[in-house]
Amino acid sequence: MTQPNSNRASLTSGNGLATDVRVIKSQMYLLPVQTRVPLKFGAETLTHVTCLRVRMTVQDRAGRIAEGWGETPLSVQWAWPSSLSHDARLSSMIAFAKSCNAAWPEVDDYGHAMELGYDFIRKQLPERLAEHQATGDDSEPMPLLAALICASAFDIALHDAYGNACGRDIYQTYNRDFMNRDLSDFLTPDDQAVTFGGKYPQDFFVSETPTSLPAWHLVGGLDPIDPSELAGDEPDDGVPVLLDDWIQRDGLKYLKIKLRGNDSEWDYQRLVQVGKVAAKHNVTALTSDFNCQVHDPAYVNEILDRLAKEHPSIFDDLLYVEQPFPYELEQNRIDVHSVSGRKPLFLDESAHDWQHVRLGRQLGWTGVALKTCKTQTGALLSHCWARAHGMQIMVQDLTNPMLAAIPHVRLAAHVGTIGGVETNAMQFYPAASDTEAVIHPGIYRRRDGQVDLSTISGPGFGYRIDEIARVLPESTAEN
């Protein structure tokens, strides 16, 4: 736990801390990325993605200026499953990002990044989303998850800017020495034994932050496993295609298996097929991801029970089950205790914020998969609430390339996951991060089953942005 700092009083200025900042400028950039192989998301397939990068400028109470950077893939298929065209959904998300870009410099308040981020998510985001839904051309409303993705690049940039303004690693500021408000201002406990008064995010971090993490590899629904499945048009770029080759090259010990969720026999056989490959290479852990396609717990239970009976060693290696059910929990209040009684069950798409995590826990979910694409602020608050209530934690990837990978792995290093961190950008678009990999090679290439965070240093998220020779396009919007 963070101890009171006798210097805190000297930081006080007026009605807040001298380290408080406000946003004075925001710029956004769009970076297109093409996949080397397709990635199947539920009923859709991803072949390209647009990454939203944000540069945010802040000013502290003394007038000092600092910049911060944030980035996230606008993963349309994951955030907004729909029969609408990809381009229509992407255009809507870009329009909403422009709305966020315009909104931030209009916020007059000073505060810590957690405080400003929370107030924006709680007040501005719903208002902007409602306005967007009412005035946009979409034939169906853009969902909250898509809005959070758009907002996350700005929120991440704000946290980076705050750390840069203080000259501190951002993770050194999530405590009473820098925050005006404790967690009781943000979170409400469900259990009488839990209190958030006098507590801060740092109180829920691991005591020793690792500099390397075990890496999860994603086995996509279209990924070939056996050589007989090769079509002959696979990329010849020196990067593996077959699972055996990935495991051997990267020393992998953790595999995440994408399933269909609407074809139980295919899902079962896929688990068995990958499980046998895993056993051959002494892979230690598996997980399954049904991508929100399941509507009846019996579907998952029957697969798990059959696996336990016919392939008990594969069942034992299955560490947890990820998000089988529709992600809008409030509209789909499915009791899932029967599933979590068999294996730990983790919220992913449903974990919009800590309130949704609370509802999930009531329905029987036992863990939460955090993602920085739902904002750094929201991920930290969800983590604190979940940890305080005994839930397990994982940090999942949104196939984060370039700058987006760094806050992602840093979150995993600080929160203490059930096992490592998911990292799959190097599978689906490795070349996209070549520029950043010059400075941070261990983030963008897995070795001995690990990603290496040791090159991250300095204030903010430790990007070392001035050393990264990324040439950006013209800004799409500037306010």
CB 370 within 8 A of CB 393: yes
pLDDT at 67: 98
State how far the Cα of 196 lies from the Cα of 380, in Å rounded to an integer: 14
pLDDT at 12: 53
Query: Hey, where are the domains in the chain?
Result: 8-185, 201-456
* Strand, coil or helix: 22: strand
Q: Which residues have C-beta within 8 Å of that of residue 82, sequence separation ≥ 6?
A: 89, 140
For residue 354, count other CB atoms closer than 10 A to its CB. 23
CB 187 within 8 A of CB 391: no
pLDDT at 14: 53
Burial class of 384 by CB neighbour count within 10 A (0 to 12, 13 to 18, 19+): buried
pLDDT at 7: 44
Q: Which residue, 6, 9, 16, is CA-closest to 61?
A: 16
pTM of the model: 0.95
* Local confidence pLDDT in tens for the 479 residues of the chain: 333 343 443 455 457 899 999 999 999 999 999 999 988 877 788 899 999 999 999 999 999 999 999 999 999 999 999 989 999 999 999 999 999 999 999 999 999 999 999 999 999 999 999 999 998 777 889 999 999 999 999 999 999 999 999 999 999 999 999 999 999 999 999 999 999 999 999 999 999 999 999 999 999 999 999 999 999 999 999 999 999 999 999 999 999 999 999 999 999 999 999 999 999 999 999 999 998 999 999 999 999 999 999 999 999 999 999 999 998 899 999 999 999 999 999 999 989 999 999 999 999 999 999 999 999 999 999 999 999 999 999 999 999 999 999 999 999 999 999 999 999 999 999 999 999 999 999 999 999 999 999 999 999 999 999 999 999 999 998 88
State how far the Cα of 53 lies from the Cα of 160, in Å rounded to an integer: 13
CATH code for the domain defined by 8-185 = 3.30.390.10
Assigned CATH topology for domain 201-456: TIM Barrel (3.20.20)
Q: In this structure, are strands 16-17 and 65-73 parallel, antiparallel, or unpaired? A: unpaired
3-state percent breakdown (helix, strand, coil) of the chain, nearest 5: 40, 20, 40
State how far the Cα of 288 lies from the Cα of 277, in Å rounded to an integer: 15
E strands along 42-133, which residues? Answer: 44-60, 65-73
State how far the Cα of 284 lies from the Cα of 295, in Å rounded to an integer: 30
State how far the Cα of 417 lies from the Cα of 395, in Å rounded to an integer: 7
Could you tell me the CA-to-CA distances from 148 to 20, 179, 375, 404, 465 in Å, in that order?
Answer: 24, 23, 7, 15, 25
pLDDT at 44: 84
State how far the Cα of 260 lies from the Cα of 294, in Å rounded to an integer: 9
| C-alpha dihedral (180, 182, 183, 189), degrees to nearest 10 | -140
CB 143 within 8 A of CB 79: yes
For residue 447, count other CB atoms closer than 10 A to its CB. 14
CB 421 within 8 A of CB 211: no
| C-alpha dihedral (73, 77, 78, 83), degrees to nearest 10 | 150
Six-digit token string for 470 = 């990324």
For residue 48, count other CB atoms closer than 10 A to its CB. 12
Strand partners, 21: 60, 111
CB 259 within 8 A of CB 265: no
